[in-house]
Chains A and B, each alone.
Chain A
Amino acid sequence: MSDRLLRVNAYTTLDLADVRARGHDFDVNTLGVVNVTAPRKNPDHVTLQVEIDHTTVEMLPAHADEVTLSASEARTIADDLHSYADRVENAQSSGSDDA
């Protein structure tokens, strides 16, 4: 079995994330690593990385997915993350089930 592809250390954004791998023939809830980074040399983009724990998803070969984002795209995602995080926190603090 191959090693993890992403480095995992104290600078990794999330060393423990709940992830779901879904295909036409499979649907697996498992764990993974999520990281956000940018090149050290002349950074011109943001990279969002996700690696599913491959020992628990037999249908997929060991791999990591990377999304290349412009600064603007990264901020768009960050804005959405903030917005939905607020929504979740508000729902949790009010005890609402958002029905």
Chain B
Amino acid sequence: MFLFLVINCIMPTDVERWKSEVYGQEIREHLFEFAEEGYDTIPEDERDAWFERFKWWGLYHQRNGQEGYFMMRIGTPNGVMKPGQLRVVGEIASEYATGPGVNPIFGDGYADFTTRQSIQLHWIELSDIPDIFEKLEENGLSTQQACGDSWRNIVGNPVAGKDAREVIDAWPVIHDLNETFKGNDDHSNLPRKWKVSVTGTPDGSGQGDINDLAFEPAYKTIDGEETVGFNVRVGGGLARNEPRFARDIDVWVPPADVSTVAGGLSALFRDNGDREDRYNARIKFLVDEWGADKVRETLQSEYVDFELHTAGRDVREEYTYNTGDGDRNDLIGVHEQHDGSYFIGLNVLVGRMGASDVLELADLASEYGSGEVRLSQRQNIIVTDIPKDAVDEFTSEQLLENYSPDPSPFMRGSVACTGTEFCSLSIVETKNRQVRYARWLKDNVTLPGDVDEFHIHLSGCTASCAQPQIADISLRGMKTRKNGEPVEALDVGLGGGLGAEPQFARWVTQRVPVDEIPGAISNLIETFAAERNDDESFRAFIDRHDNDELDSFVAPEETDYEDPMMHNTKRTWYPYAENDGLDAGPSAPADD
């Protein structure tokens, strides 16, 4: 009791106190006990603490009204799914990711591919978790540290080791980092989440600029010989209404030293991050406070025992990924691998795929390729290792009519977070809405002929899980009043993107009713098509106009688009339920 009182007094936040009591690997034992004894045995006054801890094992309790159901996140480093693993995910989704709510577009039982190359399943019951973990782990998959205050899923160019364009294979580095820092007690309890990107391709597809720690390909002359390694950037991130791009700390590392430098920076964050205020805990705020020079000096003096190199020659000028310009804004389509076979990026609209489709795609991946697939940061899936003479047959498969390697720009550019269907933070419906938007835009709006890609990201709140600030059109959940009634609405931002000179979207119009968004986008694109200079990109077009002009271009308008979710879906237990009132929600699932 005395120890508890002391901890209670000295810990700055509830979460830090809960973490000081039980955190990291040891959570698993408690999780399995609760799974065995039943959800109801979690004391009500301890649920906030246990739900916070469960995140470390990839489990989020779902939103208000869905008591006892969890979202499970499976971390697949760099989005790499080895042969057979996609089938395992499909089988788990089919058997366990079903619940009392049925989605009118996606049905019951589906997998979500996320913007951090992970997989999310919903409606998971606590009693099923030991069986699911056993199946995952037997097949080399894990939920460990998929959430929580530690090393999250490491991201990068998903086709590392395959991509004909890469200048260095980042996969061995990522694999080593994953093996070193997952389950590492020295790095299991950080002040906040720790997001790492490692990329070996000069296309920007690792999106390092929006990560806490980024390793980007760069050249350095060592002993008279030009060597490929990585430049290091620190302190990027989109959340908390205060987005930052990662800052250059003037360090280049050879592949062999990445783990040491990454561990040093993780430890620097562990020891110096703000545990007093979780909203201020990300390393981006420490970099704001210290500056890049001090981060480098502290890393050098306290966390590594060799002389750091200064930054090498980067290749950022070659970046095209999510830039709104150039030939590789995403990894959709047919691309040559360095071994002469091909990887084919398939468009998974808003990242969601029904369990039966997951299983069918797993079969196709085995039939045509090696069975391996990769997940991208644009919520899409890539089938690898397809021989040249099988490409046409593969792309003619019926399943690919819904997961096209050559989709409409509005389909391929759509990214959406989870939204009020399951998320505790969101204030609007997202995934189904973005599907409706994309389909309407595909049927009703024509982009200039030279514009193949157009990115629209929809986030349900300011947490930025759909990365709205780095899209051509950024949509973010709000409310407004229409005909006297409160309705779901979206703030609109324009002109965000990555590349050599990344920039965040400018927010130009607030609270557009959701049924007027398609008309607004249509009007905006019509103006863009009419007034652009020659082959000017959308992002460049946005850049040269001021906010008032852009606001006038948006011009919200009703069209024949109809939105069935205008009402306040935050106030439902499940937006698509026939009786959707919060008091109509299911009770917690009974123990098996």
Contacts and interface: CB of A to CB of B under 8 A. Distances in A.
A73 to B, nearest CB: 23
Contacts, number: 72
B566 interface: no
Interface string B469-495: 000000001111100001000010100
A88 to B, nearest CB: 17
A12 B461 CA distance: 10
Interface string B1-42: 000000000001110000000000000000000000000000
A19 to B, nearest CB: 12
A9 B424 CA distance: 9
27 contacts: A1-B547, A2-B507, A4-B462, A7-B240, A7-B461, A7-B462, A8-B427, A8-B461, A8-B477, A8-B478, A10-B63, A10-B64, A10-B425, A10-B426, A10-B461, A10-B570, A16-B481, A16-B486, A31-B480, A31-B510, A31-B511, A39-B277, A40-B14, A40-B278, A41-B12, A41-B13, A54-B510
A31 B481 contact: yes
Interface of B: 12-14, 63-64, 240-241, 276-278, 420, 423-427, 461-463, 477-481, 486, 491, 493, 506-511, 547, 551, 570
B509 to A, nearest CB: 6
> Binding site of A, secondary structure by majority: helix, strand, loop or mixed?
loop
B27 to A, nearest CB: 21
A55 B461 contact: no
A56 B478 contact: no
A11 B425 contact: yes
Contacts of A56: 510
Contacts of B506: 1
A11 B424 CA distance: 8
A55 B462 contact: no
Contacts of A10: 63-64, 420, 423-427, 461, 570
A31 B487 CA distance: 13
A16 B13 contact: no
A5 interface: yes
A30 to B, nearest CB: 9
Nearest to A33: B478
A3 interface: yes
Contacts of B278: 40
Given A10-B425, A15-B478, 18 more contacts: A1-B508, A4-B491, A4-B507, A7-B241, A8-B461, A9-B426, A9-B427, A9-B461, A10-B64, A10-B427, A15-B427, A16-B480, A31-B510, A39-B277, A40-B277, A41-B12, A55-B510, A56-B510
Contacts of B241: 3-7
